[in-house]
Structure 1
């Protein structure tokens, strides 16, 4: 079961209010995405902590509906 780009973007924006998100479908299959996220809340956090915040926003969908997500994160 694939996840729509709109759903993925909505979940990230809901979990990280005020963030800027750009999502790219890497394989055209709705299952392999790259997300570029800029969020003030990432300030002072390590890259691992930033990615954990994104995974938390996805509410357990990673590894299920969403097979692969390459993340690029930055503080605003």
Structure 2
């Protein structure tokens, strides 16, 4: 995809944007929220989880709406 950065930026501006062959960011955020709820119900112990940058950024966005494409790019300066 030649315009990946532009498409990613659009997907964070419009959480319901669906890219052909994929899904919008909103269902990803819902899965991230469910993951947090599931983790909170576990007994206190050490947990290791892995994910890709986009889903991690959506998880962070749930906690702090200022996160978005700049978080993925490593440009989180305000």
Alignment TM-score > 0.5, same fold: no
Higher strand proportion (structure 1 or 2): 1
Using structure 1 for the length normalisation, give the TM-score: 0.26
Which of structures 1 and 2 has the larger relative contact order (alpha carbons within 8 angstroms, sep 6+)? 1
Larger radius of gyration, structure 1 or 2?
2
